[in-house]
């Protein structure tokens, strides 16, 4: 039986303790670049770690809101938000290229990601920020989202689904304010991912299944047992003849 490859991405450089252990287990990292977290020092460290492990490097820009970790919608002008996003992406891009690497994609963080998925104005700001660069960077987007629809034809897009988050029937992630938002049991994360990857189905909180068309799957590094989950996934995927890309 031919081996399948699944692409797993993870948000890193956010101040967590497990980046060094998580990096060899993933396909791509999304590095915080100063909006919700991250400094020049942490960006440099995380970039070098990614290059050592052959992991794709993406920019993870956010509302400029470290106080709330970028997880709340911010009252900011379109011009100021675009200026901030361009500066965040550029800062990481320069660090990656100085280290001999290449930036592979952009993935918005937190509230910016969620807002761009449903708000045309925010989505256009994100797209315009990426288009400021000579080399157009692929954008990670949720499927069936405003951001995905507006980006098509302008920017290469890779659709994303979340292995450790529960879904509503409208493809929105369950709010982090609800206790059911996160999936933390490693067995449940595996079942969730396997259903999305092999069956093309997302199991929603209601029990209904909706279609899944994802190029990449995210696991959050700040989930308390993220390392345990990823180690377990490697074992269980191998049993199903699936390999996590780049590992």
Tell me the three-class secondary structure of 183-208, residue by residue.
Answer: CCCHHHHHHHHHHHHHHCEEECCCCC
pLDDT, mean of residues 157-180: 94
pLDDT, mean of residues 129-149: 95
pLDDT, mean of residues 162-171: 95
Please determine, for residue 247, whether its predicted confidence score (pLDDT) is greater than 80: no
Q: Residue 229: give the domain boundaries.
A: 4-244
pLDDT, mean of residues 145-159: 96
Please determine, for residue 224, whether its predicted confidence score (pLDDT) is greater than 90: no
What does the alpha-carbon distance between residue 181 and residue 189 come to, in Å, rounded to a whole number?
A: 13
Mean pLDDT of the chain: 96
DSSP secondary structure of the chain: -PPEEE-EEEEESSS-S-HHHHGGG-SEEEEE-SSSS--HHHHHHHHHHHHHHT-EEEEE---S-GGGTT-S-----HHHHHHHHHHHHHHHHHHHHHTT--EEEE---HHHHHHHHH-HHHHHHHHHHHHTSSSPPPEEEETTSHHHHHHTTTS-EEEEEETTB-B-TTSPBPPTTSTTSB---HHHHHHHHHIIIII-EEEPTTS-EEE---SEEEEETTSTTHHHHHHHHHHHHHHTTEEETT-
Total of domains in the chain: 1
Q: What is the per-residue pLDDT across 29-68, written as a single tens digit (0 to 9) for each?
A: 999 999 999 999 999 999 999 999 999 999 999 999 999 9
> What backbone torsions phi and psi does residue 103 show, to the nearest 5 degrees?
-70, 130
pTM for this predicted structure: 0.96
More confident residue, 206 or 98: 98
pLDDT classification of 177: cutoffs 50, 70, 90 = confident
More confident residue, 91 or 206: 91
- Predicted confidence at residue 1, as pLDDT, reads 61
CATH number at residue 145: 3.20.20.370
């Amino acid at each position: 039986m031919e081996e399948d490859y699944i692409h797993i991405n993870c948000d890193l450089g956010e101040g967590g303790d497990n980046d060094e252990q998580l990096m060899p287990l993933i396909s791509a990292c999304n590095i915080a670049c100063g909006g919700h977290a991250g400094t020049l020092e942490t960006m440099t460290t995380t970039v070098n770690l990614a290059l050592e492990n052959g992991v794709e490097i993406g920019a993870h820009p956010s509302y400029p809101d470290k106080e709330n970790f970028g997880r709340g919608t911010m009252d900011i002008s379109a011009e100021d938000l675009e200026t901030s996003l361009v500066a965040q992406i550029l800062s990481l891009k320069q660090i990656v290229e100085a280290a001999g690497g290449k930036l592979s994609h952009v993935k918005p963080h937190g509230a910016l990601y969620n807002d761009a998925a449903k708000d045309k104005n925010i989505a256009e700001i994100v797209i315009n920020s990426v288009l400021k660069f000579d080399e157009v960077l692929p954008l990670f987007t949720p499927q069936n989202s405003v951001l995905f629809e507006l980006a098509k034809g302008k920017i290469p897009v890779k659709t994303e689904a979340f292995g450790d988050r529960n879904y509503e029937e409208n493809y929105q992630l369950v709010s982090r304010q609800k206790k059911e938002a996160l999936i933390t049991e490693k067995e449940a994360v595996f079942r969730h991912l396997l259903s999305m990857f092999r069956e093309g189905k997302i199991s929603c909180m209601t029990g209904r299944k909706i279609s899944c068309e994802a190029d990449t799957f995210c696991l959050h590094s700040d989930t308390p047992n993220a390392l345990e989950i990823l180690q377990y996934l490697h074992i269980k995927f191998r049993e199903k003849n699936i390999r996590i890309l780049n590992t």
